[in-house]
Amino acid sequence: MIKSSLQWSFLCVVLSFLSPLTSSNSQAELRLSIPEETFGPPFYARLEFPSVDPALIPTNGEWAALILYRERQCIPESFNLLALFDVPAAFDCPLSSFSGYEVYRTAPGVDQAPVHTRLTGEGEVSIWFVRLEEFEQAAVDGMVTIVDFENMPSLRKGNADFFEELIRPSQVNMNILLHANAYGQFQEGGGFRLTYTVTGNPQVPQIGTQVRTRIEFPAVAYLPADPPLSSPFTGLWFDPSNPGSGISIHPVRGRDQISGSWNVVDASGEQKWYALDSTAFDGIRANFDVQLSGGPDPVAAGGVALEKVGEMQIDFLTCTLAIANYEMGETTGQKQLVSLIPADDCID
């Protein structure tokens, strides 16, 4: 049953996209913006499945963090947050200061989940912290509600001034990624930082799932004055089958943009350097113009003449794995990339 006019409008949007997506181009994807075209995550707070995160909740062993994606006043007080999903009821609860996108292979309701998702905080995002032992005591019977959190003596309510979350969910990806980075201030004073990363391949026992969580409570004066420069994919990447070449990735502060360079050694041993200028970057996928230096040019930007000779797309699968597809004239190819020096806050 359609529970609201908003859900009916959403269904119409989905149906309007189905025809072109299911025709000639089987590789086409559907990208929907949050909250204009889709509802965002179908849950209230981040309490992950045990099969993905054995800790259930982001924790550093002493403190646990509850990320609230939807406004507190409309979270049902009797709902078991450990169940995570509440469809479609959660869609009637407004998102709390988030925007972003979801990418589907076909469409919502057809695919089990998006291929990848990005959420960014557009205002103050609510993140609550409690002592881990209090959370574990509340969860021992398999039932934890929002009221249980509010009754925990150690509860500290924070508002994140910066929040970003990148997701490749396990329902539709072999290589999973959940990377959340946030910092802000507590209502009673003081600051906090949270970095939460889940990566790996749950379907392969030899790989399994890796979880890293950092929770820190610095003084407000030590919080960043500007959004962090580092992307979780910043650094050096190389193709193990061709270790003589590599790609260097660098973010641009304050913009959805990254730059890079591509060092290539061909079969004859000749070395070339290409500049990578991103034409699009959504936090988890980057498109580049591949440019070749033509030498000094005092008129050109940066004093170097650059000629576009190809295009490249990089999909970041985990903190340390990526796939690059490129087209150089009539030559196309693909590289399986591994991070040589992963960013500190994103390591498998």
Contact 152, 98 (CB under 8 A): no
d(CA 300, CA 303): 5
Contact 73, 13 (CB under 8 A): no
Annotated domain spans of the chain: 40-98+114-222, 235-339
pLDDT for residue 10: 42
- The pTM of this model reads 0.84
What stretches of the chain adopt beta strand conformation (E)? Answer: 30-34, 63-67, 98-104, 116-121, 125-131, 156-168, 176-186, 191-201, 208-216, 235-239, 242-251, 258-265, 271-281, 285-296, 304-316, 321-328, 331-339
Q: What is the dihedral of CA 213, 216, 57, 118, to 10 degrees?
A: -70
Phi-psi category of residue 285: left, alpha or beta, with phi > 0 → left and psi -120 to 50 → alpha:
beta
Least confident of 23-37, 164-178, 243-257: 23-37
d(CA 31, CA 185): 33
Q: What is the pLDDT of residues 250-301, one digit of tens each?
A: 888 777 888 899 998 877 778 888 999 899 999 999 999 999 876 666 666 6
DSSP 256-274: S-EEEEEEEE-TT--EEEE
SS (H, E, C) 293-328: EEEECCCCHHHEEEEEEEEEEEEECCCCEEEEEEEE
d(CA 105, CA 118): 16
185-211 mean pLDDT: 87
**Which DSSP category does 133 fall into?**
H
pLDDT for residue 155: 98
CA distances in angstroms from 169 to 141, 165, 311, 317, 318, listed in the order given: 27, 12, 28, 11, 11
Percent of the chain with pLDDT over 70: 85
Q: What is the pLDDT of residues 63-76, one digit of tens each?
A: 999 999 999 999 99
Percent of the chain with pLDDT over 90: 60
> Average pLDDT over the chain, rounded to whole?
85
Residue of 242 and 53 predicted with greater confidence: 242
Q: What is the pLDDT of residues 322-341, one digit of tens each?
A: 999 999 989 999 999 999 87
d(CA 290, CA 310): 5
Residue of 36 and 244 predicted with greater confidence: 36
| Pair of tokens at residue 145 | 């509600």
pLDDT over threshold 60, residue 2: no
Q: Which helix (H) or strand (E) holds 5?
A: helix 5-21
Contact 149, 132 (CB under 8 A): no
Query: Which of 159, 202, 205 minimizes the C-alpha distance to 178?
Result: 202
Residue with tokens 């049902």, as numbered in its chain? 76
| Pair of tokens at residue 124 | 């103050």
